[in-house]
């Protein structure tokens, strides 16, 4: 096996690992392969170039690129003299992680807090209702306590997300420590 074949094998192994782990990001393995392929490129590519490289349809390629753009894992770039859109991988993996997970966490926090707050209002209504029996009121009070604990958790998670967005997280977990090889 010559050096170029070894290079391709090494790249393909990493690309396949990316593809298999993209479910963490809620996307398909083909999107992971696209990301991996773009990661190893020396410059930005057009949709047509990506299509040729991966053998995907232009529609599928466009959808995959849009997924990666939404996740902020790929950037659209401009290059003088090129009329077509160009795309390249966001090279800062720390920022990619922060962007992706804070987007997902914020959405989850908002959805869950809204549900909890609506349920708290309903539970309070049960407790304050003179027609509710004591057993029902007691169950509602127990649920109310659980939901207040849930709100404390979502407040903590919201503050954790803030540490990622502000990059304060790197004070606690520095990113400049290299693994031992």
Q: How far apart are CA 38 and CA 31, in angstroms?
A: 11
Question: How do residues 84-117 score in pLDDT, each as one tens digit?
Answer: 999 999 889 899 889 888 988 999 999 999 999 9
- Say whether domain 3-90 belongs to CATH 3.90.1300.10: no
Q: How far apart are CA 111 and CA 109, in angstroms?
A: 6
Segment 125-153 mean pLDDT: 96
Instruction: Give percent of the chain with pLDDT exceeding 70.
Output: 98
Lowest mean pLDDT among 6-10, 24-28, 30-34, 149-153: 24-28
The pair of three-digit structure tokens given for residue 64, joined into one six-digit string: 């995959």
pLDDT band at 180 (very low <50, low <70, confident <90, very high): low
Question: How do residues 16-47 score in pLDDT, each as one tens digit?
Answer: 998 988 877 778 899 999 999 999 998 999 99
The pair of three-digit structure tokens given for residue 104, joined into one six-digit string: 């997902």
* pTM assigned to the model: 0.75
């Amino acid at each position: 096996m010559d050096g170029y074949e070894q290079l391709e094998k090494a790249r393909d192994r990493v690309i396949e690992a990316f593809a298999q782990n993209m479910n963490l990001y809620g996307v398909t393995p083909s999107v992971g392969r696209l990301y991996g392929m773009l990661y190893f490129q020396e410059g930005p590519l057009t949709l047509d170039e990506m299509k040729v490289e991966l053998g995907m349809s232009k529609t599928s390629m466009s959808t995959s690129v849009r997924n990666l753009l939404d996740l902020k894992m790929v950037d659209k770039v401009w290059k003088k003299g090129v009329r077509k859109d160009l795309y390249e991988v966001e090279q800062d993996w720390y920022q990619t992680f922060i962007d992706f997970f804070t987007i997902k966490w914020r959405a989850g926090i908002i959805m869950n807090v809204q549900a909890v707050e609506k349920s708290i209002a309903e539970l309070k209504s049960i407790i304050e209702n003179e027609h509710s029996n004591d057993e029902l009121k007691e169950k509602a009070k127990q649920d109310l306590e659980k939901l207040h604990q849930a709100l404390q958790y979502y407040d903590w998670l919201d503050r954790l997300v803030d540490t990622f967005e502000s990059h304060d997280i790197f004070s606690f977990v520095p990113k400049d420590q290299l693994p031992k090889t």
